[in-house]
Amino acid sequence: MYNIVSASSSTMHWTALVEPRSRLKVRIEASSAVSDYCTRVARNINMEKLQYNYLFPEISTKEIEHMRKYPNAKVISLGIGDTTMPIPENVALSMANYAIGLSTPEGYKGYGFEQGNKELRKAIAKTFYKDLEIKDTEVFISDGSQSEISRLQLLLGSNVTIAVQDPSFPAYFDSGVIMGQTGGFDQESGGYGKIEYMRCGPQNNFFPDLYKTARTDVIFFCSPNNPTGHAASREQLEQLVEFAQENGSIIVFDSAYAAYISDESPRSIYEIPGARKVAIEVSSFSKMAGFTGVRLGWTVVPDELLYSNGFPVLHDFNRIICTCFNGASNVAQAGGLACLSPEGFKALHSVVDYYKENAKILVDSFTSLGLRIYGGLNAPYVWVHFPGSKSWDVFSEILEKTHIITVPGSGFGPGGEEFIRVTAFGHRDNILEASSRVTRLLS
């Protein structure tokens, strides 16, 4: 039998369960972030370098705050790049049937291969890398490109130097900070020390001046780019591969938006001669198949990609996958296979075309207001320039006056200041309504 003694303070409340021989079992339930007790474990010094919250959860927080302030407003989100169209029916049925099969002795399966379903690896190599000499054994199935970026950082280690496009997807440099590859944050420049920021803006056709770019071990490069929407041309990617060869660097090439390319821009870095010796490619089903919540992607690590000592990178990456990842969901991989069937692939293109039409509507609306617009052709993002303005100020004004969520460009790096990113992911009526609201505000 226990006697219960309770106490409280401004920072916590606790309950002591007193045993007959006065031995105490204390259960402390913190009622706030402040506690009188701390462990002896020091905080990861690299986490202390990170600035603010990760960009997209911060956007979500501001959206929630705005909805509390205006509970009756219809808020339209053109911010976080989350897909909105339903997954194609045959793809969803494939996943559903696989899931139902798990309830039967005949259909049940446990762990799969860490590297992924063999048939899916073959289908990806055949569908996306036809005539590019990519073997299915060089394809690794992931739970999405963002997760894979972190595993690649673990592979590369803390001693490498990195370069990123500026602006670029924040996971590249944030994961580098966490890994210890960078210095501290510099308030004046808006960037982290030891990162080579490759400015990619209208002034240089969204491609870095490689003659002025310092040599680094790793180059993170996304095409079509998130957030600017620019797809690098063949000539530009040839320059990038040549630059990597001359410097002995590894390119981590993110092609998550390749399905949106409408012109002759390469969809894979491996379209460029010599890329197999210098590049890893990550990609995803998220934005072409509506798998943002399902989570499925892939990474290509060619046999020819070698460390300075001649050891194949593929072998180490395979070890990372086996150690840190039990493989993508079998249900999701069943959906991936359905995506690459003739019926599924046709349906995916229909969904992509829908979002591209949304992008055209947004581009036309902002252009009619006399604003400089980039992107929207080869990517589901529209990059809008507001000269002389702080991007967070533009974000706040648009949200306050139109109830539309965008993304401030500075969240993608110093080069994103004065810009906002607007996503074409959305239902058509919301895209039209958002265009109308912005036109009324800015005209």
For residue range 344-354, what is the model confidence (pLDDT) as tens digits? 999 999 999 99
- Residue 27 CB: number of other CB atoms within 10 A? 8
Given a contact cutoff of 8 angstroms between Cβ atoms, the answer to whether 15 and 6 are in contact is yes
Tell me the average pLDDT across 246-263.
Answer: 98
- Using the CB atoms, write b or e for 6-24: b if 16+ within 10 Å: eeeeeebeeeeeeeeeeee
Least confident range from 19-23, 82-86, 262-266: namely: 19-23
CATH of domain 89-343: 3.40.640.10
| Model pTM score | 0.90
- Provide the pLDDT for residue 12: 38
- Domain ranges across the chain: 3-38, 55-86+345-442, 89-343
Same fold, 55-86+345-442 and 89-343: no
Single out the residue of 354, 389, 439, 367 nearest to residue 84, CA to CA.
354
Tell me the average pLDDT across 249-254.
Answer: 98
Distance CA 348, CA 365 (A): 26
For residue range 93-135, what is the model confidence (pLDDT) as tens digits? 999 999 999 999 999 999 999 999 999 999 999 999 999 999 9
Tell me, what DSSP letter sits at residue 232?
A: P
Q: Which CATH number fits domain 55-86+345-442: 3.50.50.60, 3.40.50.150, 2.60.40.10, 3.90.1150.10?
A: 3.90.1150.10
Distance CA 165, CA 29 (A): 45
What percent of the chain lies above the pLDDT cut of 90? 86
- Provide the pLDDT for residue 53: 67
